[in-house]
Amino acid sequence: MPQLEVDGAALTYDDEGPHDGDGVPLVFVHGWTADRHRWDHQLAHFAGKRRVIRFDLRGHGESSGAGVKTVEELARDLLALLDHLEIERFVPVGHSMGGMIAQTVALSHPERVERMVLVNSIGRMTYSRGRGLLMGVSTLVPFKLFVAANIQRAFAPGYPRDEIRAYVKSSADTPREVVMTLYGAMRAFDVLDRVGEIQAPTLMVHGYHDIQLPVGQMLRMAKAYPDALVRIIDAGHELPVEKPAELTAAIDAFVTVRSA
């Protein structure tokens, strides 16, 4: 897979689909402790008709690099990759922390964002009582136990346990330093008072059973957006893998209608 060196990190990415296809490129950004393969279903669907970019955030998946202290630094990684690929305007599709990165880019470089899709993401990191307690004791428990507790909570009730175990193992492979440093970056993330500045049409897709970033927090954010469309799906926080076909269909309808 191709890689790009950016500020001490080697970012692994995929660049697929026709460069002269329908609409501007779609750029998929995964969340905390995940990797670019969260978007396998979406890549397979969209790459046949338009350019699609996805990458592993620094320290995740097949990318190297240490953790950073702010979401803004992750946004700079994304923009560096797009500059390298000579992509000016695009549609960011961000899941969880990836949605925070997308909002950061939409605020700092609005001219580059044609429209935006936020999946299980919010504008201000506010924890439920249960997650706040879990995060509070994060330094007191073994790292793998901490990761397992977070990932297990991310799926809706009834999701296959063997698949959850596979995601727990994958997430635990992310270096502890990266996981905990980026936890701090997410905890400090707060653009809720600025999202009214985002003029790009935005689709917000959220899992009804998301207890990591509850749907009520997303709805609070949606009210502040000038042009937001909300879709609630019967899933948890890991919507890209829990209900991939439904998510893909929602994205497809949004980017097709809005680009007509």
Q: What is the pLDDT of residues 164-186, one digit of tens each?
A: 999 999 998 999 999 989 988 99
- Report CA dihedral (154, 158, 164, 168) to the nearest 10 degrees: 40
Query: Locate tokens 């829990």: which residue?
Result: 242
Q: Do the Cβ atoms of 20 and 47 come closer than 8 Å?
A: no
Residue count (the chain): 260
> What's the CA gap between 219 and 224, in Å, rounded?
9
Question: Which pLDDT score, from 0 to 100, does residue 127 have?
Answer: 62
Q: What is the pLDDT of residues 91-101, one digit of tens each?
A: 999 999 999 99
Q: What is the value of pTM for the model shown? A: 0.94
> What's the CA gap between 26 and 170, in Å, rounded?
25
Question: Which pLDDT score, from 0 to 100, does residue 95 have?
Answer: 98
